[in-house]
Amino acid sequence: MDTFDLAISPDFQVFLDANMPKIHPEGTIGRVRRAFGINGNYGAAFKALRHALRLEIDRWPEMIVMEIMQNRDMSERLDHAQMDTFRLLCQRHKQAILDAKFDTDYFRTLEEFVLFFIYHDIRAVWVAGALKNVISESMARLYDRNDSSQRRILFTLLDFMALELSQVQRVYIRHAEYQEIASPDPTGLLTRST
């Protein structure tokens, strides 16, 4: 899938092209899956439940937009055109989630999604909070029905939320590391730990 689309501005496309190779996980997709605990059972569980989850996952792009609009710090940084770009990136990632392959498309669409926020100087804690709230709301709606099949979905969603949040952190950390390398501390006093 090409990352260019009419809804993506040329400046943001340049930012994506410059940063995607730096923040992508290293190694084969099999190695990456193992590193993040995505084994065969994980993929099989998600595939078995994705039709039951589809209604909730279909809601997520607009639910995340609503979370952004309710957060003044985020909403003041994004105009309508930028929100349209975000919707496009969110729809791409949603489709990669529903494919349930957890392959290169999954990681790439999530990285595009997170780089959008980095490009607009949105803090990681705001992004993670919005994602957590949206997935938690889905869990709450499913828990209301509270039968055994819904409990399986809850556990799968909980695992998935942990995966998504860990990937958001990974992209922010990798981007910060490369920024530090590009802009070294002239005093030599700072380290990555600071």
pLDDT value of residue 192: 38
Q: What is the DSSP string of 114-155?
A: HHHHHHTT--HHHHHHHHHHHHHHHHHHHHHH--HHHHHHHH
Selection from 96, 115, 119 nearest residue 168 by Cα: 115
- Interval 10-57: pLDDT, tens: 899 999 999 999 998 888 888 888 888 887 777 888 888 888 788 889
Domain spans of the chain, in order of start: 28-179
Instruction: Using alpha carbons, list the distances in angstroms from residue 167 to 9, 24, 73, 107, 122.
Output: 24, 10, 22, 8, 16
Instruction: Using alpha carbons, list the distances in angstroms from residue 127 to 39, 47, 116, 166, 172.
Output: 26, 26, 11, 12, 10
Instruction: For residue 21, give the amino acid letter.
Output: P
Domain 28-179 has CATH 1.10.490.10: yes
Whole-prediction pTM value? 0.83
- Angle, vertex CA 33, rays to CA 127 and CA 137, nearest 5: 35
Q: How does the average pLDDT of the chain come out, rounded?
A: 83
Q: Looking at residue 101, what DSSP letter applies?
A: -
Confidence at 188, pLDDT banded by 50, 70, 90: low
